[in-house]
């Protein structure tokens, strides 16, 4: 009886929260490479958010977060893109970014170039990576959403999302065990998630690192790919398509057919069996 | 040669970060568990251990290890009681035999007392100048360290805070025998210092 | 880009790279096993970080306090602004005492200053007594790791070196055998030494004492036998109180080797009877780093090496690829202060994965500092300038991005194999329409 009352209040608070979130004005930031290489994934992610009754607008004029420039020390060029992001900040309650490394650049690294504390706080409070938003704000893991997909998958935990956005607890730390990614994916009935050895080791992409140290980048990618192969994984999911692309470009050499999916795609595809 | 004032002037004064308040004192642990944890950690580090009921039983218990023979040279920082039932002449180095640190080079067995111990790290504290030359602590092959179990603390914070006098002249935290893993990460017990270290609690 | 060139060479033998990678991972896992058993681990890190920051923000006061108390203890304290001065001070002490045989325990600081070659060129024999250091010394190599100097060597390499210099059996690569032989060899050196040089792990301001940690006992043999002890330290080694050792001694060994504490942790408070103890306190750019708010945190370093063990780049490229005294992540943020041109490649030798920051026992935000260093090194990296101008231009607005898309499709269609061969990867598919195009078609009413 008490459990039922408890559940009722939880659902009530989620309903009211979701009502509140449906009123929020949300901007969708699509990373540069997703616009060029993965339009399907971006579209499906947008549709998934719309399915959740969220008021999402695509930020048509935001093309890039500036990361390739900042990471190469081209600070002034990076700032050009940063200004564009800062200019639209006060028009939205939340900004959802479809990549963790871009999110971290905006949320954690722009602050080195901004002296205004209010702006820094605004960035931290408004900008969310896709998975982060679903967990922290929408609380999808506590919702009653119906998701089904029969697949055996594994996850590529890209470093910026893992360590800078704390989407999961990396193995170096002795803090509470939390994994926002699997908590969300566990809502998908029929999805089997396989964990690999050393699941939190860097894939070796590192953006411009893959140019400067291509051989090492490929070696690191190969090592990680082999860990997936060792567990007979054919489907790899991730929240950062840049890292997934890096692995994709070296998979053929390993003579394996592996599919790579963005998490937004998988969530959307899990909807197609049941329409609420 | 730079003078102090010249040296220090190069350093900036930056915004202040306060000294943090901390303490890890509170862990409640029974004496038995304390000793258990010490022994576990001491042995994990490659040390050997022994519990004796009375200090005077030390020599005969150490005999059981097999390295204490009539051929070895022994030095003790405290008077060792050897039970009359034990046969044989043992060659003890006397303080007058040690004129310089190098005189300890051929020392085989050292008996020394530790003042305090720390259980959560398996370490024993021996103040400086417990020997006429501390080199003896490191030149010996077999190190036997005696500790009264009443002087065992859970952690170093407690041990230090409650015994500041023991640290006044410096000393050694010893946590097992000397060792190295510098050759292809293979652990070798016994590097340049003692090959074997036995902690004896009474 | 020196690191890149040296790494490419290292990668030449995949078997060796895998072996080196596993060796370092092994140490990282030992660290994990031990820290898992310390429930207050994260608290300890936070306190250690705060203590270090506190000292750095009051460095003048703490240098003074340490100096006065050290003097009171009977230590002779010297100040060196730079490495040349340190070397000169050490040499003066030795030559004034007619010393030409010295034993030295591990000190990254003396490596930083190039003390060994300085003394050797003036006729002083310096024997590195840490086993790993002795091995690389005999091989005339630099250490490749700050805690495990010989981690890049296989036991057969050591057997070969010992056969050459110590007359051991070339065919016996058993580590115990080799260690016992080294023991005999170094025992002679300890007994004959006229002075012992050590580094300093911690210097205690409150008591004017200092601490040296080893597993082999070599620092202790080197300071209890000869009657001159010279301890070299950087100012950042100072900690406020004796009690603070209870924090630092609980995080150093677990981070470095996965042990709870090193076999020997020696606290020096007074010279031994008939002994003179000198302490040389070094600046050598530390005051400059302290003035730099972005990079100040790097001075918290306690030289545990955990960041090296976890770094996926270091593990697969080896310490020598960093062409500097201190390699790895911490080296990459310290070395560029010395010389931007020579070491400017190092902050780019990273994917900024952040694992280093997470293992650092004193919470240095290493990966952040690598990023900030890159902002200072625009002219160092060797990507052709036009590429960035090109990218900025074509990313600057949606219209240009559309053109870039067309260029990419064209390039992929007409010269795929040439590019794929050059970059050793297969190019991804470039879909016919961009997201913006599809969006415009499906949501045409939403576009401003």
pLDDT, tens digit (0-9, with 9 covering 90-100), for C88-124: 999 999 999 999 999 999 999 999 999 999 999 999 9
Do residues C228 and C93 touch, judged by C-beta distance below 8 A?
A: yes
Chain B residues closer than 8 Å to C47 by CB = 20, 22
Q: What is the pLDDT of residue A13?
A: 61
- When pLDDT is averaged across residues A133-162 and rounded to a whole number, the result is 96
Do residue C270 and residue B192 have CB atoms under 8 angstroms apart?
no
Residues C259 and C396 in one domain: no
Model confidence at A44, pLDDT cuts 50, 70, 90, reads: very high
Q: Which residue has the tokens 């700032």?
A: A79
Number of A:C CB contacts under 8 A? 191
Model confidence at B27, pLDDT cuts 50, 70, 90, reads: confident
Do residues C409 and C402 touch, judged by C-beta distance below 8 A?
A: no
Q: Which residue has the tokens 């999805």?
A: A191
Residue C340 domain flag:
no
Helix (H, G, I), strand (E, B) or coil at A206: coil
- A84-to-A72, B65, C271, C436 alpha-carbon distances in Å: 19, 76, 64, 18
Q: What is the pLDDT of residue A3?
A: 65
Do residue B138 and residue C224 have CB atoms under 8 angstroms apart?
yes
Chain C residues closer than 8 Å to A63 by CB = 395-398, 401
Query: Percentage of residues in chain C with pLDDT exceeding 90?
Result: 92
- When pLDDT is averaged across residues B133-147 and rounded to a whole number, the result is 97
Residues A15 and A128 in one domain: yes
**Among partner residues C60, C149, C154, which is closest to B184 by beta-carbon distance?**
C154
Q: Does the beta carbon of C177 lie under 8 angstroms from any beta carbon of chain B?
A: no
Residues C99 and C239 in one domain: yes
Rounded CA gap, C429 and C413, in Å? 10
Chain A residues closer than 8 Å to C388 by CB = 69, 72, 74, 77
Do residue C224 and residue B122 have CB atoms under 8 angstroms apart?
no
Question: A169: which 2 tokens?
Answer: 């607890």
Residues A92 and A162 in one domain: no
Do residue C352 and residue A68 have CB atoms under 8 angstroms apart?
no
Q: What DSSP character marks residue C436?
A: H
Residue at which a domain ends, from A88, A110, A136:
A136
- Runs of H (alpha helix) within C58-154: 59-72, 83-96, 108-113, 115-120, 131-138
Q: Does the beta carbon of C221 lie under 8 angstroms from any beta carbon of chain B?
A: yes
Residues 77-116, chain C: which have Cβ within 8 Å of B? 78-81, 85, 89
Residues A67 and A148 in one domain: no
Task: Tell me the residue range of the domain where A173 lies.
Answer: 144-274
> At residue C382, does pLDDT exceed 80?
no
Domain count of the fold of chain A: 2
Do residues C330 and C301 touch, judged by C-beta distance below 8 A?
A: yes
Residues A105 and A165 in one domain: no
Residue at which a domain ends, from A136, A169, A195:
A136
Residue at which a domain ends, from C227, C256, C284:
C284
For B64-103, the pLDDT digits (tens) are: 999 999 899 999 999 999 888 888 889 999 999 999 999 9
Residues A127 and A151 in one domain: no
Compute the nearest-CA separation of A158 from chain C (Å). 8
Residue at which a domain ends, from C260, C284, C308:
C284
Residues A239 and A163 in one domain: yes
Q: What is the pLDDT of residue A275?
A: 46
Helix (H, G, I), strand (E, B) or coil at B170: strand
CATH code for position A55 = 3.40.50
Q: Does the beta carbon of A87 lie under 8 angstroms from any beta carbon of chain C?
A: no
Q: How many residues does chain B have?
A: 202
For A120, the enclosing helix (H) or strand (E) is helix A117-126
Model confidence at A10, pLDDT cuts 50, 70, 90, reads: low
Residues C118 and C230 in one domain: yes
Do residue C355 and residue A32 have CB atoms under 8 angstroms apart?
no
> At residue A129, does pLDDT exceed 50?
yes
Do residues A70 and A105 touch, judged by C-beta distance below 8 A?
A: yes
User: Who's near B66: CB < 8 A, 6+ residues apart?
Assistant: none
Environment class of B44 (CB within 10 Å of its CB; exposed 0-12, middle 13-18, buried 19+): middle
Alpha-carbon torsion C1, A217, C435, A111, what sign?
Answer: negative
Alpha-carbon torsion C40, C46, C49, C51, what sign?
Answer: negative
Residue of B19, B117, B183, B193 to mutate when probing chain C, most C C-beta within 10 A? B183
User: Who's near A135: CB < 8 A, 6+ residues apart?
Assistant: A141, A180, A183, A184
Residue at which a domain ends, from C259, C284, C309:
C284
Residues A7 and A129 in one domain: yes
Question: C117: which 2 tokens?
Answer: 């070659």
Residue C349 domain flag:
no
Q: Does the beta carbon of A12 lie under 8 angstroms from any beta carbon of chain C?
A: no
| Higher pLDDT among residues C417 and C157, named by residue | C157
- When pLDDT is averaged across residues C232-242 and rounded to a whole number, the result is 98
Beta-bridge mates of residue C268: B170, C210
Do residue B16 and residue C58 have CB atoms under 8 angstroms apart?
yes
Compute the nearest-CA separation of A64 from chain C (Å). 7
Rounded CA gap, C282 and C53, in Å? 19
Do residue A77 and residue C388 have CB atoms under 8 angstroms apart?
yes
Residue at which a domain ends, from A94, A118, A136:
A136
Which range has the worst mean pLDDT, A179-188, B29-38, C142-151, C372-381? Answer: C372-381
Residues C65 and C182 in one domain: yes
Residues C99 and C247 in one domain: yes
Residues A268 and A232 in one domain: yes
Do residue C395 and residue A163 have CB atoms under 8 angstroms apart?
no
- Chains touching chain B at 3 or more Cβ pairs under 8 angstroms? C
Q: What is the pLDDT of residue B26?
A: 64
Domain count of the fold of chain C: 2
Rounded CA gap, C398 and A257, in Å? 34
Residues A149 and A201 in one domain: yes
Q: What is the pLDDT of residue B17?
A: 95
Residues A241 and A181 in one domain: yes
**Among partner residues B10, B138, B176, which is closest to C220 by beta-carbon distance?**
B138
Residue C346 domain flag:
no
Q: What is the pLDDT of residue B28?
A: 85
- Chains touching chain A at 3 or more Cβ pairs under 8 angstroms? C
Chain A residues closer than 8 Å to C443 by CB = 58
- When pLDDT is averaged across residues A72-76 and rounded to a whole number, the result is 93
Residue of C179, C233, C241, C297 to mutate when probing chain B, most B C-beta within 10 A? C179
Compute the nearest-CA separation of C85 from chain A (Å). 35
Model confidence at C184, pLDDT cuts 50, 70, 90, reads: very high
Model confidence at A274, pLDDT cuts 50, 70, 90, reads: very low
Chain B residues closer than 8 Å to C281 by CB = 7
Q: Does the beta carbon of A262 lie under 8 angstroms from any beta carbon of chain C?
A: no
Nearest CA in chain B to C266: B172
Model confidence at A6, pLDDT cuts 50, 70, 90, reads: low
| Global pTM value | 0.95
> At residue B6, does pLDDT exceed 90?
yes
- C267-to-A30, A127, B135, C349 alpha-carbon distances in Å: 58, 50, 15, 38
Model confidence at C314, pLDDT cuts 50, 70, 90, reads: very high
Do residue C267 and residue B178 have CB atoms under 8 angstroms apart?
no
Do residue B121 and residue C250 have CB atoms under 8 angstroms apart?
yes
Rounded CA gap, C335 and C337, in Å? 5
CATH code for position C120 = 3.40.50.10420
Q: What is the pLDDT of residue C107?
A: 95
Task: Tell me the residue range of the domain where C410 lies.
Answer: 385-446
Rounded CA gap, A203 and A102, in Å? 17
Model confidence at C172, pLDDT cuts 50, 70, 90, reads: very high
Residues C280 and C395 in one domain: no
Chain B residues closer than 8 Å to C280 by CB = none
Residues A43 and A115 in one domain: yes
DSSP codes, B55-69:
GGGHHHHHHTTS---
Compute the nearest-CA separation of C233 from chain A (Å). 30
Chain C residues closer than 8 Å to B176 by CB = 263
Distance from chain centroid for Cα A219: 25
Chain A residues closer than 8 Å to C353 by CB = 159, 163, 202, 206
Compute the nearest-CA separation of C286 from chain A (Å). 23
Q: What angle do CA C389, C390, C396 make, to 5 degrees?
A: 85
Rounded CA gap, C210 and C215, in Å? 17
Chain A residues closer than 8 Å to C446 by CB = 57-58
Beta-bridge mates of residue B190: none
Compute the nearest-CA separation of C213 from chain A (Å). 24
Q: What is the pLDDT of residue B87?
A: 83
- When pLDDT is averaged across residues A27-37 and rounded to a whole number, the result is 97
Q: How many residues does chain C have?
A: 448
Query: Percentage of residues in chain B with pLDDT exceeding 70?
Result: 100
For C58-95, the pLDDT digits (tens) are: 999 999 999 999 999 999 999 999 999 999 999 999 99
Do residue C395 and residue A173 have CB atoms under 8 angstroms apart?
no
Residues A124 and A37 in one domain: yes
Question: C233: which 2 tokens?
Answer: 């330290």
Half-sphere exposure of C224 toward its Cβ, with a 13 Å CA cutoff?
Answer: 29
Do residue B170 and residue C266 have CB atoms under 8 angstroms apart?
yes
For C22-45, the pLDDT digits (tens) are: 999 999 999 999 999 999 999 999
> Is the pair C, B in contact (3+ CB pairs within 8 Å)?
yes
Rounded CA gap, C418 and B3, in Å? 64
Q: Does the beta carbon of A33 lie under 8 angstroms from any beta carbon of chain C?
A: no
């Amino acid at each position: 009886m008490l459990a039922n009352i408890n559940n009722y209040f939880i659902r009530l608070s989620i309903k009211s929260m979701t009502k509140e979130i449906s009123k929020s004005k949300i901007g969708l930031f699509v990373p540069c490479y997703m616009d060029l290489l993965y339009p399907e994934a971006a579209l499906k992610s947008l549709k998934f958010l719309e399915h959740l009754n969220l008021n999402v607008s695509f930020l048509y004029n935001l093309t890039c977060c500036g990361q390739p420039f900042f990471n190469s020390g081209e600070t002034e060029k990076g700032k050009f893109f940063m200004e564009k992001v800062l200019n639209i900040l006060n028009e939205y309650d939340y900004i959802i970014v479809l990549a963790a490394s871009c999110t971290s650049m905006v949320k954690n690294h722009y602050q080195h170039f901004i002296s205004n504390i209010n702006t820094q706080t605004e960035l931290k409070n408004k900008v969310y990576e896709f998975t982060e938003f679903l967990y922290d704000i929408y609380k999808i893991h506590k919702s009653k959403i119906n998701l089904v997909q029969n697949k055996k998958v594994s996850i590529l935990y890209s470093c910026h999302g893992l360590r800078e956005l704390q989407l999961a607890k990396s193995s170096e730390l002795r803090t509470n065990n939390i994994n926002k990614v699997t908590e969300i994916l566990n809502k998908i009935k029929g999805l089997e998630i396989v964990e690999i050895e050393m699941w939190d080791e860097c894939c070796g992409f590192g953006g411009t690192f893959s140019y400067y140290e291509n051989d090492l980048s490929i070696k690191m990618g190969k090592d990680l790919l082999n860990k997936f192969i060792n567990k007979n994984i054919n489907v790899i999911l991730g929240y950062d398509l840049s890292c997934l692309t890096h692995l994709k470009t070296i998979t053929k050499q390993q003579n394996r057919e592996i599919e790579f999916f963005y998490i937004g795609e998988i969530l959307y595809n899990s909807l197609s069996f049941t329409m609420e | 040669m730079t003078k102090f004032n010249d040296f220090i002037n190069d350093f900036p004064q930056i915004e202040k970060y306060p000294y943090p308040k901390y303490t890890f004192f509170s862990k409640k642990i029974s004496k038995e568990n304390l000793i258990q944890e010490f022994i576990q950690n001491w042995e994990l580090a490659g040390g050997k251990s022994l519990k004796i009921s009375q200090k005077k039983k030390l020599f005969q218990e150490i005999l059981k290890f097999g390295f204490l023979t009539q051929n070895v040279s022994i030095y003790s920082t405290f008077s060792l009681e050897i039970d009359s039932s034990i046969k044989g002449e043992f060659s003890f180095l006397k303080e007058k035999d040690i004129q310089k640190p190098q005189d300890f080079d051929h020392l085989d067995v050292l008996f020394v007392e530790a003042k305090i111990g720390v259980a959560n790290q398996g370490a024993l504290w021996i103040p400086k100048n417990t020997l006429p030359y501390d080199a003896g602590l490191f030149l010996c092959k077999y190190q036997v360290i005696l500790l009264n179990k009443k002087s065992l603390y859970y952690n170093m914070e407690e041990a230090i805070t409650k015994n500041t006098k023991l640290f006044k002249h410096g000393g050694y935290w010893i946590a097992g025998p000397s060792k190295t893993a510098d050759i292809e990460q293979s652990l070798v017990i016994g590097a340049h210092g003692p090959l074997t270290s036995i902690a004896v609690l009474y | 880009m020196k690191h890149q060139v040296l790494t490419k060479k290292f990668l030449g033998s995949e078997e060796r790279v895998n072996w080196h990678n596993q060796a370092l991972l092994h140490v990282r896992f030992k660290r994990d096993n031990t820290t898992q058993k310390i429930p207050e681990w994260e608290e300890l890190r936070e306190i250690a970080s705060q203590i270090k920051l506190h000292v750095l923000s009051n460095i003048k006061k703490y240098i003074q306090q340490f100096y006065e108390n050290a003097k009171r203890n009977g230590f002779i304290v010297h100040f060196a602004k730079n490495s040349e001065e340190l070397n000169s001070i050490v040499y003066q002490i030795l030559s004034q005492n007619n010393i030409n045989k010295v034993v030295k325990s591990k000190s990254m600081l003396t490596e930083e200053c190039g003390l060994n070659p300085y003394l050797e060129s003036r006729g002083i024999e310096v024997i590195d007594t840490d086993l790993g250091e002795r091995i690389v010394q005999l091989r005339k190599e630099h250490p490749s790791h700050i805690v495990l100097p010989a981690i890049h060597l296989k036991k057969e390499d050591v057997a070969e070196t010992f056969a050459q210099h110590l007359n051991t059996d070339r065919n016996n690569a058993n580590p115990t055998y080799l260690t016992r032989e080294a023991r005999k060899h170094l025992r002679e050196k300890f007994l004959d030494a006229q002075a012992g040089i050590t580094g300093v792990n911690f210097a205690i301001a409150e008591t004017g004492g200092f601490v040296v940690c080893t597993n082999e006992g070599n620092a202790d043999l080197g300071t209890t036998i000869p009657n001159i002890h010279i301890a070299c330290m950087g100012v950042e080694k100072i900690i406020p109180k004796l009690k603070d050792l209870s924090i630092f001694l609980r995080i150093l060994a677990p981070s470095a080797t996965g042990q709870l504490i090193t076999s020997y942790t020696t606290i020096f408070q007074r010279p031994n009877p008939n002994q003179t103890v000198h302490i040389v306190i070094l600046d050598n750019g530390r005051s400059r780093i302290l003035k730099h708010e972005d990079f100040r945190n790097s001075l918290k370093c306690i030289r545990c090496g955990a960041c090296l063990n976890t770094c996926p780049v270091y593990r697969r490229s080896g310490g020598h690829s960093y062409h500097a005294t201190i390699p790895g992540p911490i080296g990459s943020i310290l070395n560029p202060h010395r010389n931007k041109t020579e070491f400017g490649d190092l902050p780019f030798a990273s994917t900024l994965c952040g694992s280093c920051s997470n293992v650092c026992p004193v919470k240095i935000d290493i990966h952040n500092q690598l990023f900030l260093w890159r902002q200072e090194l625009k002219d160092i990296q060797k990507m052709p300038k036009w590429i960035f101008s090109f990218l900025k231009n074509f990313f600057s607005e949606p219209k240009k991005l559309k053109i870039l898309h067309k260029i990419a499709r064209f390039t992929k269609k007409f010269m795929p194999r040439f590019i794929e061969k050059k970059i050793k990867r297969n190019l991804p598919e470039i879909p016919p329409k961009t997201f913006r195009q599809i969006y415009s078609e499906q949501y045409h009413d939403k576009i401003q």
